[in-house]
Structure 1
Amino acid sequence: MTQAESRTYVTTTTNRWAVAFLNDAATVGYDAKIESLKLLLEQKPPSKSKINTQLQKNHDINKRQANSIIAYVEGAVKSAIECRSNHIKLLQGKLKHTTEVIEKLEKKINAHSKYLQAVEQVNRGKKKKVSKSLKPKYPDACPMRCAHHLTLYQFAKVKLHQKKRYAHKLRQKIAQIKTSPVHVNLGNKYTVDGNLDGFSQIKVNIQSQPKGRTEAILVDVVTDLTELALEHKRPIIVEKLDFTDKRKRLRELNARARRMLSNFAYSKFLQLLLARCFKLGIQVIEVNPAYSSWIGLIKFMSTYGMNSATAAAFVLARRGMFLSERLPARTAYQGMEPKKHTWSHWQSVAKRAKGSSRHSFYQPRLTVYSRLRSVRNGGSWDEPSSAAVNPFGELREVGENPTGSR
């Protein structure tokens, strides 16, 4: 007897009442998930019956719906704990392998160092000959295709130093993961594609302010942000910043950089924001700010009429939705490797555009139509235009004929 085959089909409904109902249900369910997550992490051990009662009361849902939400959040918490455990095991495996490589390199380098010391003593006449137990571990030569002009022994010492640095970073990362709280990702509330809905700025001036005044200003800013998040029912995206190394080198920086770092109370702002968002049930997502300023300048600043800071914030918001930023077609250049990460491509573009003024990114972009219009008006292909001198890293150079004829 053959087993019956079942299939599931997914389609998009055109009934606006059904769409409105599903959107409202998704909003209520997401808010209930956040509250359930908060209660599960706060209560030790968590009481499911109390959480169920509180969810029914606060979100106007029935017992079965509350149970399903609690079960979903419990699964997300267990998944986050297991993922963190697997991540720690992976890092510990890398650390173990790196430690073994360091031990082998140290043993080999120390043996070669003793051999070199013995040879030096023989050359000085302190010893008659080198002991048979001492043998060279590295030939006195440079590796093939060597750009740094180091011998194999010197290159091994450099490699040992880099391995020790890598091992130190792994230990720091493992300790940070073990001490940090569990991060549970409940996904995005809305299935949006990252388009701009609106933008504004909150002006803040904490320069040369006393400690109490600075904290009061930051509290007002955090209150405004959380009110916007509650009004629009959106999470808050922040960038991961660490100024520890820069503050250590504060004396060597110029006066402007010292003043900026001294007045920038980022850690206090993040502390206040996380505390208030946890109290109100607002999701806070931390993202890597790598190349966000350049991406905002090149892709979004002139498109939406933003300033550079707002464009960078828009990039961070899209990154918090797990959206990737590829290079636009106008910045394409030959030699790009598709297998590389997109940030490596942005790094190449940032090097080419470095030193350009931010205002120049508002200039009109070069198109074939504008070049043809110049020729029709009596110009030539060799005439430069204002659109041709932008810092976007264009593939076409000034005077290049896109049609192949003159």
Structure 2
Amino acid sequence: MQIIQIDLISAVTSDASHLSSTFAVTNILNDIPSLQYICNSTSCTIVMTVSSGMQAAFFSGLQADSGTIQLGSATADSEQFDINTTPYSSLSELALGSSQRISPEFFSFTVAPYTGPTISSPYSGGTISEYTQGPTSIELTGDVTLESDLVLTDSSDSIQRVSTGSALGAASITLRLETSTDRKDSPVSGNTIHQWDQSSGVAGRFEDSSGNAINLNDHANVMIGSICTIGGSDYQVNKIIGDGTGVADVELSGSASDATVTAIKHPIKLGIARAGSVLNVENPQLGTSKTFTDFSIRRQIEDGGYSQTQRNVSKSFTVSGLLTDSNAQSFEGFYRSFRSKPVPVIVADGLDSARNENTLMTGFYFFRSAPSMAYAVFNGSHTQVEFELNEVI
């Protein structure tokens, strides 16, 4: 089990702006995943400056169609690692009432000798199809095609992704995120979006090809920040009132006249980013359980009927672990310091790759109550620790 206990991010910037100041990039440093950074472009590059001592990074509340993470320090660089952008489910109903559709992800890093392909100078040309290192300068005597990273460095080391990280020097983390999938023809229910009907100024609504209003709650793939191509120009959705069917229920980032909608893309969002030192203790014992809290509304009607509204689902872990005395003391010190404050946790690490521990076992958790501790042996060398972690989304 790993917990990021000291966040070492000292600054964060983005090459793109935000939907509004409410959704600024600095939001990713707070403790509220739902108060996200919403980018105002179909691509953005977020750079985090991290002080010395980082062992792991964590991201939650991500929305993007593709993304990569890359690290760099004074002594080593990494390749571009893909960020998980696969939703929890391929079923369209996931979009109904779900503010977080992509799992959080935990990254651990270390510096180690680079064992991949290298090139020397002069280089006669060709295609570089995997992460490759070269000297700080290369003389090209032929054409080169880059299909992957080419890192020029005077170091034989590289930053690598591992199960258990080690402290790095001062570094930077670069996230490159893109949104590209058109969602206008992908409603969960109801008709597809065909046109924009302007009421006045920035206000109006979306309609189908017959001029009927689109219920955005049913469509579920238009949201605050969605990037809409209307009449050949891009606008973002700034406001939605109710289900969006009123003549002025949707407000855009600019005034768009009546026109055909040619694309609607999800906005790029990020809720939480952390990078720092790690408290590493023993994995939970067998019997540790994973449960879910469903915030959906269920109403049983007196005549036997039923009504419901789908809402977010969060996960929880009830953990039982046998810790060495040293780790138990460190864990107690951590809890006394953080108490109710949410932190990034990977509940179990070092599992088989097919278990997807970096996504399915991780989250932005708080302790529901104080942990309990019981001495497991007479000499006090091991302690049984039990606690419950609840996810914040």
> What TM-score does the superposition give when structure 2 sets the normalisation length?
0.21
- Higher RCO (CA-CA < 8 Å; seq separation 6+): 2
Structure of greater Rg: 1
